[in-house]
Amino acid sequence: MATISDVANRAGVSTATVSRALNGKATVDPELAARVLAAAEALGYRPNGPARNLRKQETAVLALIISDVENPFFTAIARGVEDVAHEAGYSLVLCNSDDAADKEREYVDVALQERVAGVLLSPTGSAETAELLARHSTPVVAVDRPLPDHPSDTVLVDNRLAAKHATLHLSGQGYGRIGCLTGPSGVPTADDRLAGYRDGLRAAKLPGSTSLVRRASFKAEGAQRAAHELLAQDDPPDALLVGNSAMAVGVLEALAALRLKPGRDVGVVAFDDAPWTTLLDPPLSVVAQPAYDMGALAARLLLDRIAGDREETSTTTLSAHLVARGSSTRLGDSFSHNCPDISDIDHG
C-alpha cells in the first residue's frame, strides 16, 4: 500500500504539502496540488478518512514558543522554522516564554484553544506543559532542550562536546586558570556546557574549582555581576567560557569596568555567533551553533508528524563549531580563524 511519503517522493514535494493538497487547502500552489493528485492517483494512494477529517478541524498555523526572542540564537531558530512552514503553506505564531513555566503554559493553552496544527517548543522544563500537550494529542517538537518526561521529536546541539573543545582551545592558547559562566541549574543547555567545561579541564590536566564557576540567568545583567565576582578574587581566572551571547555582553561590560582587555588580560570564548561579535576589538571567539538548521529541521519533523507520516520519535543532535578570534588567541588584534570542525582546532 502506498504511503504519503511515496506520494511526496513521486511528486517532488514535502509530505506536509501532500497532506494539504489532498485536504483541499487553498494555500497550496495549484501546480503543486496537481502534481500531488496525479502522483496519488498513479500510486493508488488513499488517505485515512477519519484522520483526515480530524486534521480539517485544525488551523494552518504552527506555534513556536522560545525562551528569549531577543537572543539571536532563538531568532535564527525562528527564521528556520518560518521558512519551512511558509514553503509548506503554514503560518507561524511566535511566543516568548522568558524561560518562565507559567508563561509557557499560558501560550500552550492559547495554542490549544486556537487549534494550531502543531507546536515547536524550547521547553522551560515544566512537566505540566508536556502533560498538557500529550493529553490533547498535539504534535510537538522540542528544540534546543528536550521535553521533560515526554517522548517527542527533539532537535539538539552537542553542547557538552562543544564546551569541552572550547575549553581545550583556551588551554592550548596558554590559559591555565579557566573559569566558566553558565546558565541556571537544571536547564539542560547550561548543565551540559558546565559538564563539557569540566571535561575540557580534565583532558587538559588543568585544576578545576568551584571558585572558578558561576551560574546566572542567560542575561547580560546576571553575567556582569558573576564576572565581577570571579575577577575580583585573589586568584582570578585568566580566561572565561561564557554560556551565551547575552551573557557575553555582561562579561565584556565587567571587563571594561575593570580595565581588562579580552585576549590580552583575559581570554574569552562565548556560545553563539551574534552579528556584533566581529565588530569588537579584538573580535569575540565563539562557539557557533547551527541555529537556523535546528529550526528548519524541527519544522520539517513537525510537518511530517502533522501529516501522519511519523510514528516513532527521534532525537537529532547537531554539531557546533569553534570560531577562534582575537579574544582567545592572545594576539590582541583582529585575527580570525573559522574552524570547520570543532575537533580540528589549530592552537598554533
pLDDT digits (tens, 9 = 90+) for 297-313: 999 999 999 988 777 89
Which pLDDT belongs to residue 59? 75
Beta bridge partners of 214: 181
Would you give the end-to-end CA distance of the chain in angstroms? 59
pLDDT digits (tens, 9 = 90+) for 75-129: 999 999 999 999 888 999 999 999 999 999 999 999 988 889 999 999 988 888 8
pLDDT class of 177 with cuts at 50, 70, 90? very high
Q: Average pLDDT, stretch 192-198?
A: 98
What span, in angstroms and rounded, lies between the C-alpha atoms of 221 and 219? 6
Q: Average pLDDT, stretch 271-300?
A: 96
pLDDT digits (tens, 9 = 90+) for 128-161: 888 888 888 889 999 999 998 788 999 999 999 9
Which pLDDT belongs to residue 27? 66
pLDDT class of 48 with cuts at 50, 70, 90? low
Asked whether the beta carbons of 315 and 146 are under 8 A apart, the reply is yes
Share the mean pLDDT of the chain.
Answer: 88
What span, in angstroms and rounded, lies between the C-alpha atoms of 169 and 184? 24
DSSP-derived letter for residue 90 is: -
pTM: 0.78
